[in-house]
Amino acid sequence: MARTTERVVAGAPLLQVRDIAVDFQTIDGPVHAVEGVDLDLAAGETLAIVGESGSGKSTTAMAVIGLLPGNGKVTKGSILFEGEDLVGASEGVMRTIRGRSIGLVPQDPMSNLNPVTKIGSQIAETLLAHGLATRKDVDRKVVETLAAAGLPNAADRAKQYPHEFSGGMRQRALIAIGLACDPKLLIADEPTSALDVTVQKTILDQLERMTSERGTSVMLITHDLGLAAERASRVVVMNRGRIVEQGPARQILEDPQHPYTQALVKAAPSVAAVRLRPEVFRAVAPATPEPDIAVADSATDAAPASVSGPVPAEHPADATPGSTGAITEPEAEASAPDYIVEVEGLTKIYQVRGSKEDFAAVQDVSFSIPRGETVAIVGESGSGKTTTARMVLRVFEPTSGSIRFDGQDVATLKGGALKQFRQRVQPIFQDPYSSLNPMFSIERIISEPLDFYKRGSSKDRAARVRQLLDDVALPQSMLRRYPSELSGGQRQRVAIARALALSPDLIVCDEPVSALDVLVQDQILRLLGDLQREYGLSYLFISHDLAVVRLISDYVCVMKDGQLVEAASSEEIFTNPRDPYTRRLLASIPGNELDIAV
């Protein structure tokens, strides 16, 4: 995929979309999903279509390849591919075109790969269906196709099932299937949205090499404007089924004309990350010392050493636990610890069934969270960041090491003291769709922790729920609704309201915005910042997205293979990263290579 925005491709467009409209028939009547869309795609060009969920970008792409749902139909306009109008073409014609002339890399590899069929067989099916291989040579061509997609040990991988692949490997398999027939046009629908930034960059680099070598045109569907500007020569911006702006990628990024495009540019973390960190996301908190963040040397596995300034000679004296391990209230403000959480030497070892070797998910991790501030833990999948967060929540018990909350060892808490701890430390989970009970109304979801801990009278609890809806900027009319009736952003606001219900001191945010579009992501991040300023909350923020982390964090811990490889203030991490792994993560942020004026 060309990165220059000045590329000119001679000749007539490979694809011409003219004034198309797409309707979906529902029980409430037709829904106009796409209206009046015009776009061209030249041979060998990469065009990105950008917009949030519901903007019509994927519907437009599926109309081109003839894969609209059964209740969807192109009601107007034309789609010319190599001069042939695909609107109204028979299913037989479209079957010939799909794969052979127009390939597809869909978004979710787990739902688009057959779980009971080997990867090689799925590629072989495509090759055989289009007459590009015979039974005699199909195995060889399958291996060649997988190898071209960057899968190591392709012959062995062809014999495996999708569940035996990592997320990145499954996405490579989908790319292999999409390009197996050497199509002239490849539609890549959010091909890396579920992947870590380093894996995302690897996949996109591989896709770029393959399409560039073959001269394939690419229609890239994404909600990430930074990624679109980096990977495409032209960008089309869609909102509510219409194109609101299109042009050279660099021009759209640097000088957006439409208010919606301006909002996308402003909200995109991948774009904002290459600028100065906006102050609006920073919590205004009392001055605190640099956090005591210890890091084991990744090369020598030496004893932990502080990388963020000298470790205080003494931590505040521990409150003496009673017979039940009760958390004692500080006698005076002056005696309160500087840090609400102090983690030291945290280790989690798992025994692996059928193996003589244990697996160290977390190894000797130490860090502290200053009161009223945000410490982020970043790293790829499998780095140990979520396991660390769950140990802080005391969902997982550590194998060794200690977690001190307000000066007390969390492991010693029992009975009433443990109940008090669980009220003061609350989680916000990644997926707003699975973290809310679909059978509960929004009112019941938010009031559940208040009911469980018997906070106040029923009248008091009802008033608290209404106040929480106001805090997260949701209307009171939401109370009687159910999660299925809410958007992803609204659901995450409900999850935040539930986390706030018991007035916690610490909120553990586990990838709280990774499932959301950039505009909704921006709203949730701003909301978290506002709530932190208003209530003096402390956050432990887990994420694989450094662009997001830069916007919200005061301090950053970088984890790799269960170890802390680097930790410092957010500004230091982003302006002067020390560890090669941190530098690699930063280099993988979409849009990182763009020189954008501040």
Q: Is the pLDDT of residue 354 over 80?
A: no
CA distances from 303 to 388, 481, 566 (A): 19, 53, 14
Q: Is the pLDDT of residue 320 over 50?
A: no
Q: Which of 463, 466, 455, 458 is nearest to 502 (CA)?
A: 455
For β-strands 217-222 and 46-50, DSSP reports them as parallel
Residue 198 belongs to a domain = no
Residue type, 64: V
Q: Please write the tens of the pLDDT for every residue from 356-369.
A: 788 899 999 999 99
Residue 445: how many CA atoms within 13 Å on its side-chain side? 27
If one counts every other C-beta atom within 10 angstroms of the C-beta of residue 460, the result is 11
Write the burial class of residue 29 (CB in 10 Å: 0-12 exposed, 13-18 middle, 19+ buried): exposed
Question: What pLDDT score does 508 carry?
Answer: 97
pLDDT category of residue 480 using cuts at 50, 70 and 90: very high
Question: What pLDDT score does 302 carry?
Answer: 37
Residue 270 belongs to a domain = no
Residue 140 belongs to a domain = no
Question: What pLDDT score does 8 carry?
Answer: 40
Residue 111 belongs to a domain = no
Sign of CA dihedral 295, 299, 302, 305: negative
Strand partners, 236: 49, 246
Please state, in angstroms and rounded to a whole number, the distance separating the CA atoms of residues 289 and 338.
8
Please state, in angstroms and rounded to a whole number, the distance separating the CA atoms of residues 554 and 529.
11
The set of residues, in sequence order, having a beta carbon less than 8 Å from that of 17 and lying 6+ positions away, is 37, 38, 39, 40, 60, 64, 77, 78, 79, 80
Q: Please write the tens of the pLDDT for every residue from 263-306.
A: 888 877 765 554 434 444 444 333 334 444 444 443 333 333 33
Residue 71 belongs to a domain = no
Extract long-range pairs of 449-453: CB within 8 Å, 24+ residues apart: 449/423, 449/498, 449/501, 449/502, 450/501, 450/502, 453/419, 453/423, 453/502
E-state strands within 371-439: 374-378, 400-405, 408-409, 425-428
186, 190, 192, 197: CA torsion to nearest 10: 130
Q: Which of 345, 427, 437 is nearest to 386 (CA)?
A: 427
Name the domain count of the chain.
1
Q: Is the pLDDT of residue 584 over 80?
A: yes
Could you say which DSSP state residue 330 is in? Answer: P
Query: What is the extent of the structural domain holding 547?
Result: 279-587
Residue 283 belongs to a domain = yes
Please state, in angstroms and rounded to a whole number, the distance separating the CA atoms of residues 327 and 246.
59
Could you say which DSSP state residue 371 is in? Answer: T
Least confident of 213-222, 332-341, 497-506: 332-341
Look over the chain and give the mean of its residue pLDDT values, rounded to a whole number: 83
Residue 391 belongs to a domain = yes
CATH classification of the domain holding 323: 3.40.50.300
Q: What is the DSSP string of 279-318?
A: GGGS------PPP--EE--TTT--S-EESSSPPPSSPPPP
Please state, in angstroms and rounded to a whole number, the distance separating the CA atoms of residues 31 and 18.
20
Alpha-carbon 129 to chain mean position: 35
Mean pLDDT of 153-181: 87
Most confident of 34-48, 145-159, 210-224, 574-588: 34-48
Find out whether 118 and 170 touch, Cβ atoms under 8 Å: no
Query: Which residue in the block uniquely carries the two structure tokens 């970043």?
Result: 378
Residue 11 belongs to a domain = no
Q: Please write the tens of the pLDDT for every residue from 435-446.
A: 899 999 999 999
Mean pLDDT of 122-139: 91
Quick check: helix, strand or coil at residue 379? coil
pLDDT category of residue 194 using cuts at 50, 70 and 90: low
Please state, in angstroms and rounded to a whole number, the distance separating the CA atoms of residues 375 and 557.
7
Quick check: helix, strand or coil at residue 443? helix
Q: Is the pLDDT of residue 143 over 90?
A: yes
Q: Is the pLDDT of residue 323 over 50?
A: no
